[in-house]
Amino acid sequence: MPKIVIAGGTGFVGQYLSKRFQKMGYQVILVGRQKGNIPWTDTDGISAALEHAEMLINLAGKSVNCRYNASNKAQIFSSRTETTSILGKAIENCSHPPILWLNASTATIYRHAVDRPMTESSGEIGTGFSVEVAKKWEKTFFDFHLPHTRQVALRMAIVLGADGGVIQPFKNLVRFGLGGIQGNGDQYFSWIHIEDLFQIILFIQKHHEIDGIINCAAPNPITNKTFMGTFRSVMHRKIGLPSPKWLLEIGALLIGTETELLLKSRWVIPERLTELSFTFQFPTIGKALDDILILK
């Protein structure tokens, strides 16, 4: 049975990918902190699991949906860089290393953009805490030079799927009449349907010429205003009270998160995938939300 190793595979994205790969007939081995996974401390066990694996996908990282205090910040960094480092060393110790290593990264690495979209070739790297995390995460990954393993960093936009991520909180806001714009509503919202993310992974697996950085974002990013409007219309809610920045600041403090997650303008497009003629099943937000909110 062909095998795939997923690290940090018990979360939103990992569970979806595990199920999809298992359905295709793969054995999926998980590395992580939970019972039944290979623990991060078992470096020999990780190397053994990676022997002859078709692919390693690393998704491990403490959620950024928390207040950026010193302790959380340190964990956000280390849970990404240390896990990446353990996996790279484990591959170096393999006799038959995996052919492909995909490491999660984030589209948040690009700057706050309201003037033009960010691509892999012309995008500008931003500043601030989450950008520093992304930079260090990718640097740790690309500092490994592995002769037999192709390496691709997935700069993921906000992943939309029925079973996790941001959909449930947005659903609640819209349901309670609070699904208006956040801030001035002009900030861009780059997103990707979780099934398209899975299809991108299969595409990268098949296209041996792909390495380096891939923006995993739908080709039609939208503004927050359009996103909230589409969300309301799919849920048949006419009214949605807006949330000005000051209100979001208070709300974020109360529920222990950061407004950056809502207010940063992420305008990211998948230039490389488009050039390689990748076909998105969910290219528009309407199609994606219809699928996620109605059919499921």
Ligand X SMILES: NC(=O)c1ccc[n+]([C@@H]2O[C@H](COP(=O)([O-])OP(=O)(O)OC[C@H]3O[C@@H](n4cnc5c(N)ncnc54)[C@H](OP(=O)(O)O)[C@@H]3O)[C@@H](O)[C@H]2O)c1
In the bound complex, what is the minimum distance in angstroms from residue 201's beta carbon to ligand X?
A: 12
* Tally of CB atoms within 10 A around 19: 13
Buried b (16+ CB within 10 A) or exposed e, 90-119: bbeebeebbebbbbbbbbbbbbbbeeebbb
Residue with smaller CB distance to ligand X, 14 or 229: 14
Residue with smaller CB distance to ligand X, 8 or 179: 8
The footprint of ligand X (CB under 6 A) covers 8, 10-14, 32-34, 37, 59-63, 75, 79, 83, 104, 106, 156, 158-159, 165
Measured distance between the N- and C-terminal CA atoms of the chain, rounded to whole angstroms? 31
In the bound complex, what is the minimum distance in angstroms from residue 160's beta carbon to ligand X?
A: 8
Residue with smaller CB distance to ligand X, 61 or 229: 61
Which residues, at least 6 apart from 85, have a Cβ–Cβ distance to it below 8 Å? Answer: 140
In the bound complex, what is the minimum distance in angstroms from residue 134's beta carbon to ligand X?
A: 9
Residue with smaller CB distance to ligand X, 27 or 242: 27
Residue with smaller CB distance to ligand X, 193 or 225: 193
Residue with smaller CB distance to ligand X, 208 or 262: 262
Distance CA 57, CA 50 (A): 11
Residue with smaller CB distance to ligand X, 83 or 187: 83
Helices (DSSP H) in 105-236: which residue ranges?
129-142, 167-175, 194-206, 224-234
Sign, Cα dihedral of 229, 180, 194, 80: positive
The strand pairing partners of 106, in sequence order, are 156
Q: Which residue is nearest to ligand X (CB)?
A: 11
In the bound complex, what is the minimum distance in angstroms from residue 177's beta carbon to ligand X?
A: 25
Residue with smaller CB distance to ligand X, 14 or 180: 14
Distance CA 162, CA 52 (A): 33
In the bound complex, what is the minimum distance in angstroms from residue 239's beta carbon to ligand X?
A: 27
Structure tokens at 289: 């939300």
Do 268 and 155 touch, CB atoms closer than 8 A?
yes
In the bound complex, what is the minimum distance in angstroms from residue 245's beta carbon to ligand X?
A: 22
In the bound complex, what is the minimum distance in angstroms from residue 286's beta carbon to ligand X?
A: 19
Do 211 and 148 touch, CB atoms closer than 8 A?
no
In the bound complex, what is the minimum distance in angstroms from residue 185's beta carbon to ligand X?
A: 20
Distance CA 95, CA 108 (A): 36
Residue whose entry in the numeric block shows the structure tokens 């989450």 = 130
**Amino acid at residue number 237:** R
